[in-house]
């Protein structure tokens, strides 16, 4: 039976809900993007590149915990309620950063801001909760599109604020936008469905992996000075892996795990998680690598010597690519299944990074390559939650998308440290031409090769995804089609 077309009032209601969710979710994207735009300035002001790097890492580490814990709590106690609570944490972190008088306090503010990493999985769950089924893939595509666009716009805004008003204003901007988001969600978003929790809440499982990840990150940061064979570094790696193993064992055996790691064994979800991990390790380093490359002095043998604001403009056209790529990904997922979108996105990403490796000596080249990489990244980034929605139970939507966000966040945190380590593997300096030590051309080439390897592995995982229809059901194999045709008389 054909479904009735939605009324204009229903269309307006769905559009309003989607607009509120997008406005709330982009808080996290702005907070990430603006900080990337300010990194070079903060490194000069504090004179501690490793410490300033933790402004990104602390945000991502707390975000990994928040994405897993808050998403599941949202499934249980109402996603709208958790959305408001998460925004309140982001507001508090922005205030801490705005008033910070030292780098440790600034890192603390960024850590509290990291709670906003739960915004994306919560909003994806709310899209599935409030929008008609046929509109969910496109709705997810628009949420992902605006996340990508505002991350790029945040770099530009952060660079402009740093150049013209000072780095504290990136936190004051977040204060204002987060406050408006809380007001919009509280007044315009319908209440969420709440579920009854079965058994005791597994709070331990929601945070147990954080110490293990922190130890691994600490080991990575030590490698530059101590080398990979240092006993302390090796001890940190071993202890971190043991802690993560204990967390996996705890969650696997728990009857109601906070983060259901058993779902990683399901083919489509497991491969989607692998795609998200590779995205975080490699492509998510685009802003870090290209912004440093664009601002590095030309006398070093690589770099364009741009200001922070001009360097940030490289990502502006790329951000517009995200506005096209992610909604297109949603349309493809609705018509042909999310596998096709994931494969296209992965191939485009790989092609873009190969271009960066081969040609990076002009602004227009970096603009074009950033455009291509962001286009592919936005297609893939929207395809992954749609891959999950195709097979996930409705009452676990935010949790499983939260798991994917945990994987991406941890992958990005580790990738940031690895990229920083690779960029520092060989350096150049010349006191007569200016202060500071900069990555050498060989260090950049090594970093590009690492990211290309991650992108190539992503293509292979996308190929391995099961073929599904737009509704999420596996496509029948030819023998099944033939058998069905013979039994029904249809040829």
pLDDT digits 0-9 by tens, 49-87: 767 777 877 787 777 777 767 777 777 777 888 888 889
Is 92 in contact with 107 (CB distance < 8 Å)? no
Q: Would you say residue 181 lies in a domain?
A: yes
Exposure string of 449-486, with b = 16+ CB inside 10 Å and e = fewer, is ebbbebbbbbbebbeebeebebebeeeeeeeeeeeeee
Neighbours of 176 (CB within 10 A): 11
Q: Would you say residue 331 lies in a domain?
A: yes
CA distance 294 to 304: 5
Q: Do 234 and 369 fall into the same domain?
A: no
Q: Do 262 and 333 fall into the same domain?
A: yes
Exposure string of 235-256, with b = 16+ CB inside 10 Å and e = fewer, is ebbebbeebbeebbebbeebee
CA-to-CA separations, 471 to 6, 27, 130, 393, in angstroms, rounded:
20, 31, 18, 13
Q: Would you say residue 237 lies in a domain?
A: yes
Q: Do 126 and 262 fall into the same domain?
A: yes
Q: Which of 237, 257, 277 is the last residue of a domain?
A: 257
Q: Do 208 and 308 fall into the same domain?
A: no
Q: Which of 213, 242, 257 is the last residue of a domain?
A: 257
Is 346 in contact with 455 (CB distance < 8 Å)? yes
Q: Would you say residue 69 lies in a domain?
A: yes
Q: Would you say residue 7 lies in a domain?
A: no
CA distance 174 to 30: 8
Q: Do 237 and 337 fall into the same domain?
A: no
Is 257 in contact with 251 (CB distance < 8 Å)? yes
- Cα 393 to its chain centre, rounded Å, is 23
Q: Would you say residue 491 lies in a domain?
A: no
Query: With a cut of 70, which residues of the chain have pLDDT below it?
Result: 1-6, 9-11, 47, 50, 68, 152, 193-201, 206, 217, 221, 223-228, 395-396, 398, 431-436, 468-491
Q: Do 187 and 236 fall into the same domain?
A: no
Q: Which two tokens stand for residue 51?
A: 């410490």
Return the pLDDT at 98.
84
Q: Which two tokens stand for residue 300?
A: 């070093």
Is 134 in contact with 83 (CB distance < 8 Å)? no
Structurally, the chain folds into a number of domains equal to 2
Return the pLDDT at 193.
65
CATH of the domain at 446: 1.20.1250.20
* This prediction's pTM: 0.73
Q: Do 248 and 331 fall into the same domain?
A: no
Q: Would you say residue 88 lies in a domain?
A: yes
Q: Do 406 and 379 fall into the same domain?
A: yes
**Which domain, by its residues, includes 107?**
12-191+258-427+438-468
63: nearest Cα among 210, 259, 277: 210
Q: Do 293 and 315 fall into the same domain?
A: yes
- Locate all alpha helices (DSSP H) within 47-78, ordered by sequence: 49-77
Q: Would you say residue 401 lies in a domain?
A: yes
List, for residues 145-165, the tens digit of each pLDDT value.
777 777 767 777 777 787 778
Q: Do 50 and 161 fall into the same domain?
A: yes
Q: Do 165 and 215 fall into the same domain?
A: no
Q: Do 386 and 456 fall into the same domain?
A: yes
């Amino acid at each position: 039976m054909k479904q009735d077309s939605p009324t204009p009032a229903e269309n307006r209601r769905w559009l309003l809900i989607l607009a509120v969710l997008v406005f709330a979710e982009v808080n996290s994207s702005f907070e990430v993007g603006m900080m990337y735009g300010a990194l070079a300035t903060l490194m000069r002001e504090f004179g501690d590149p490793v410490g300033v790097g933790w402004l990104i890492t602390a945000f991502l580490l707390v975000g990994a915990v928040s994405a897993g814990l808050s998403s599941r709590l949202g499934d249980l106690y109402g996603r709208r309620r958790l959305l408001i609570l998460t925004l309140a944490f982001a507001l508090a972190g922005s205030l801490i950063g705005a008033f910070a008088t030292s780098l440790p306090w600034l890192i603390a503010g960024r850590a509290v801001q990291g709670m906003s990493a739960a915004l994306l999985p919560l909003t994806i769950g709310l899209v599935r909760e409030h929008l008609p089924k046929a509109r969910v893939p496109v709705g997810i595509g628009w949420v992902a599109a605006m996340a990508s666009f505002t991350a790029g716009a945040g770099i530009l805004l952060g660079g402009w604020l740093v150049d013209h008003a000072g780095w504290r204003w990136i936190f004051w901007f977040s204060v204002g936008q987060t406050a408006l988001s809380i007001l919009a969600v509280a007044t315009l978003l319908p209440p969420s469905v709440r579920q009854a929790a079965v058994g005791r809440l597994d709070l331990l499982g929601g945070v147990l992996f954080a110490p293990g990840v922190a130890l691994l990150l600490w080991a990575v940061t030590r490698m530059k000075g101590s080398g990979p064979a240092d006993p302390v570094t090796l001890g940190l790696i071993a202890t971190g892996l043991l802690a993560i193993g204990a967390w996996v064992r705890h969650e696997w055996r728990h009857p109601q795990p906070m983060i259901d790691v058993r779902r990683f064994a399901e083919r489509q979800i497991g491969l989607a998680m692998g795609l998200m991990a590779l995205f975080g390790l490699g492509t998510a380093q685009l802003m870090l690598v290209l912004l440093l490359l664009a601002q590095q002095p030309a006398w070093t043998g690589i770099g364009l010597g741009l200001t922070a604001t001009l360097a940030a403009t490289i990502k502006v056209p790329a951000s517009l690519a995200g506005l096209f790529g992610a909604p297109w990904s949603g349309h493809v997922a609705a018509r042909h299944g999310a596998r096709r979108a994931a494969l296209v996105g992965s191939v485009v990403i790989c092609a873009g990074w190969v271009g960066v490796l081969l040609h990076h000596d002009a602004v227009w080249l970096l603009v074009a390559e950033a455009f291509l990489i962001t286009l592919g990244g936005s297609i893939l980034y929207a395809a992954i939650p749609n891959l999950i929605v195709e097979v996930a139970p409705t009452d676990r939507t935010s949790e499983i998308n939260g798991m994917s966000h945990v994987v991406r966040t941890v992958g990005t945190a580790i990738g940031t440290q690895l990229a920083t380590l690779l960029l520092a593997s060989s350096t150049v300096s010349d006191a007569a031409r200016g202060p500071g030590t900069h990555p050498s051309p060989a260090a950049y080439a090594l970093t590009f090769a690492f990211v290309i390897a991650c992108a190539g592995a992503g293509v292979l995982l996308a190929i391995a995804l099961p073929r599904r229809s737009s509704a999420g059901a596996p496509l029948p194999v030819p023998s099944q089609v033939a058998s069905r045709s013979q039994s029904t008389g249809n040829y």
